[in-house]
Chains A and B, each alone.
Chain A
Amino acid sequence: MRGKTKAMIALGVAGATAAWLAMATEPSDWRYAKLLLTQLPKMPFRYFV
């Protein structure tokens, strides 16, 4: 699988996770949600480590 394809898949998974979080998160989870939202842009890069 080429790097670009992998990056697209990683971005897709990160996006899906964001959507899932948005649907599943309750106000009491805001700190966890904030943590994950700040980490989301980094996750596609971490996938390659």
Chain B
Amino acid sequence: MPDYDVVVIGGGIGGLSAAALCQKAGMKTLVLEQSDRIGGCCSTFETEGFHFDVGASVVEVTRAFDELFKRLEMPREKYIPLIPVDPIYDYCDNTRGVRFAYPTSVEDTARVIAEFSPEDARAFLKFAEDYTPKIKGLVDNFFYAPSLGFMDTIRLIAKYPQMISVLPMFVTTHQKIVARYFKNADVLASMAFQSFYAGLPPDMCAGLYAIVGLLEHEGIYYPEGGMIRIPAGIQQAFEDLGGETRFNARAVRVMVEGRRAVGVELWDGTEITARNVVGAINAKKLYEDMVGREHIPWHVWRGVRSLVLSMPCPMIYLGIDYEPPLNAHHTLTLTDPRVMNDYWSDYYLKGKLYVKDGRVEVMGLISWASKIDPSLAPPGKHVLTHMGLAPYNLAGNDWDRYKERYIDEAIATIERYIIPDLSKHVVYRDMATPKDLERMLLHPGGAVYGIQTDLSHMAVFRPANRSKCIGNLYLAGASTHPGGGVPAVVAGGIITGSLIVKDNA
């Protein structure tokens, strides 16, 4: 008799969500986490009294959590207390004297835009009017529906016929959609940069992601105690239901017999047998390293090998000794969409960092988590994290050697555009390079969003939540359907958990 009904490899939010649903259905479930910390990329670590979020810095579309806890019949508020974050972004460029913030309210945001572009303010209201109904339909249907094959797509359209009106968004680009509405360069940039949340520049990202700039106006939230509160809350719910979590338990192999997963082997040789195995890690790593070529038919192997990893997001962690002159949880400097697009071909694909006026500029998103939750830093001090975009392989250099210089360049960039004199206030500094993210979180290529999110890697072309070549093997996490980002990964966990429960009923 197998040791467990379900073994989940990876204690990220996708694996935990699937595990909790299986445990709720009465299946004896074990979660294996390779590190001593839960959550993977959606987590928080402590050092010298500062609490830094590993990667994810905020959460939107809380409906995904509400849906999970509704299915668990447990109160979400008890397990994951969320604090509203308003304004959503503060855009700042001291070199041009530009600064404005978008509040949560759509109408108030239109008023902010109207101060410098009345035409774009009207366009923003029109954008909201056109796409808000599509967002609701997409989130409530596409997000929680499995996409194992074409029949699922047909079922989805039958259940939600309006999906047909959304399909063109898959084949057009993010840039094309927002450019139809916005003319002012700053407003256009403020609606275009979200494509990088899918790891692609605006003119290469599926148009579907154009709704993110609007989706954020449904409200963004930060969990009390840091982003780790999200996986910790789901883990607590899972354990309250009787589930078991094992830390420092690194799985190295999915045991396969006759094309069916029968368990997991750990790094120390321990074998754990199970009726069902969930790989809540990068799908490419799962198939290539843990399942192995010998168990995978040639055509599936070819598909696995063809998967393109998403763009890495190096993270910089700064502890500072004063309250920074920022106005919001998230601050960034807007970049012309043409520059965002050219960055891909002129820099990223060539392994280069972005250079302007002869110096490296490290553009990215600054998160000031201790503004929302002061307990994340010692009294009088604050934490800042900076999420950038950079290639995994640096041309002519190596991340381990370049790391300190990159932090210097990032601080210098922030000083130029947003926080003058920042360097005088830094009392702690560190970063997670793409190679560190690969080593710490086992994300191949440092790809925190898993697999690239273009049309050729979406829905039925994204690794399926139920393996199509190995029986009893399931997938969860950013590299499976519906994709990366906190709410999507939780939604994917719901799909996976529901499939396991249904298949074992």
Chain A positions near chain B (C-beta within 8 angstroms):
3, 6-7, 9, 13, 17, 20-21, 24, 26, 28-29, 31-32, 35-36, 39-40, 42-43, 45-49
7 pairs, CB–CB < 8 Å, chain A vs chain B? A9-B150, A26-B176, A31-B203, A36-B454, A45-B302, A46-B457, A49-B283
Question: Which residue from A3, A20, A40, A42 sits with its C-beta under 8 Å from B171?
Answer: A20
Chain B, 196-220, contact with A by CB distance < 8 Å: what is the 0/1 string? 0000000110000000000000000
Interface of A is mostly: helix
Contact A40 B456 (CB under 8 A): yes
Residues of A within 8 A of B456 (CB): 35-36, 39-40, 42-43, 46
Residues of B within 8 A of A17 (CB): 171, 455
By Cβ-Cβ distance, the 10 closest A-B pairs, closest first, are A39-B456, A45-B303, A42-B306, A49-B303, A46-B303, A46-B461, A45-B302, A48-B300, A32-B173, A49-B463
Count how many chain B residues have C-beta atoms less than 8 Å from C-beta atoms of the other chain: 34
Contact B461 A28 (CB under 8 A): no
Contact B150 A31 (CB under 8 A): no
Residues of B within 8 A of A6 (CB): 149
Contact B287 A49 (CB under 8 A): yes
Chain B, 362-383, contact with A by CB distance < 8 Å: what is the 0/1 string? 0000000000000000000000
Interface: B96 (CB within 8 A): no
What distance in Å separates the Cβ of A24 from its nearest Cβ neighbour in chain B?
A: 6
Chain B, 282-315, contact with A by CB distance < 8 Å: what is the 0/1 string? 0100010000000001011011101110000000
> Which B-chain residue is minimally distant from A42 (CB atoms)?
B306
Residues of B within 8 A of A13 (CB): 150
Interface: B274 (CB within 8 A): no
Most buried by B among A28, A47, A48: A48
Contact B204 A49 (CB under 8 A): no
Q: Bound complex: CA of A29 vs CA of B311, how far in Å?
A: 21
Most buried by B among A3, A6, A17, A32: A32
